[in-house]
Amino acid sequence: MLGTTSPTPEAPSQDFPYLPDSARLWIFGVSRPLGPEEEERLLVRVDAFLEEWRAHGDPLSAARDWRYGRFLLVAVDDRITPPSGCSIDALVRQLRGLEEELDVEIVGGAPVWYRGEGTEDGPIRRVSRGEFREEMERGRLGPETVVFDLSLTRLEELRARRGGRPARARWPPRYLPSP
């Protein structure tokens, strides 16, 4: 997984670990570390939203998780009620409002999230794809640099990976430094 669950207020509707592997998943990276009050505000607002989240009037069985102090994971058991386009748009609107309120980026862009080579718990960094490639070419990052995949769409994918994966497992060889 992207890491273990951080101690935070109780997640709504369901506990994240108990959602089925088939649950639909969205992963959002927060552009900078949040202070404790900001983190609490983010999670309380997301929890309140998820408690009321509906698709065509039907409640969604949803939960969230907060990992590494940088990643918001939202999942829905779509066997019960699948999310609709409008309900997903409502989630994005909620997060866009929080972006403005907290002065961070949560939705949008396609940054690369990584943790430096040889560090299991060092800081998580966020750079553009071009910057990541430049760092690889300069040898500042290498094939063992842990890269986080925020494009996963099902909990089973998240659970099977058990963390970020080395760049060599995620990036084409042309992006990696030559031996």
- In-domain check, residue 6: no
What is the number of structural domains in the chain?
2
Is the same domain home to 50 and 127? no
- In-domain check, residue 3: no
Is the same domain home to 94 and 124? no
Q: At what angle do helices 85-102 and 36-52 cross, to 10 degrees?
A: 160
The two tokens of residue 99 are: 């972006």
Is the same domain home to 22 and 60? yes
- In-domain check, residue 45: yes
- 10 Å Cβ neighbour count for 90? 17
pLDDT tens digits, the chain, 179 residues: what are they?
A: 454 444 444 434 568 999 999 999 999 999 999 999 999 999 999 999 999 999 999 999 999 999 999 999 999 999 999 999 999 999 999 999 999 999 999 987 678 899 876 666 778 999 988 898 888 888 888 888 888 888 889 999 998 875 678 888 876 666 666 65
Q: What is the pLDDT of residue 170?
A: 73
Is the same domain home to 98 and 121? no
Q: What's the CA dihedral at 129, 34, 38, 98 to 10 degrees?
A: 0
Q: Give the residue from 122, 116, 5, 15 showing the smallest Cα distance to 71.
A: 5
Is the same domain home to 57 and 92? yes
Is the same domain home to 21 and 97? yes
Return the SS3 of 127.
strand
Is the same domain home to 47 and 85? yes
Q: What is the pLDDT of residue 42?
A: 97
Q: What is the pLDDT of residue 12?
A: 44
Domain membership of residue 148 as a residue range: 112-171
Which of 52, 76, 102 is the C-terminal boundary of a domain? 102
Which of 102, 136, 161 is the C-terminal boundary of a domain? 102
Q: Would you give the DSSP letter of residue 6?
A: P
- In-domain check, residue 71: yes
- In-domain check, residue 138: yes
Is the same domain home to 39 and 64? yes
Q: What is the pLDDT of residue 123?
A: 86
Please name every residue paired with 165 in a beta bridge, in sequence order, or none if there are none: 147
Q: What is the pLDDT of residue 111?
A: 87
Is the same domain home to 94 and 131? no
Which of 102, 131, 152 is the C-terminal boundary of a domain? 102
Is the same domain home to 96 and 23? yes
- 10 Å Cβ neighbour count for 129? 13
Is the same domain home to 29 and 88? yes
Q: Name the burial class of residue 150, with classes exposed (0-12), middle (13-18) and buried (19+) by CB atoms within 10 angstroms of its CB.
A: middle
- In-domain check, residue 35: yes
Q: What is the pLDDT of residue 129?
A: 85
Q: Give the residue from 103, 91, 38 showing the smallest Cα distance to 60.
A: 91
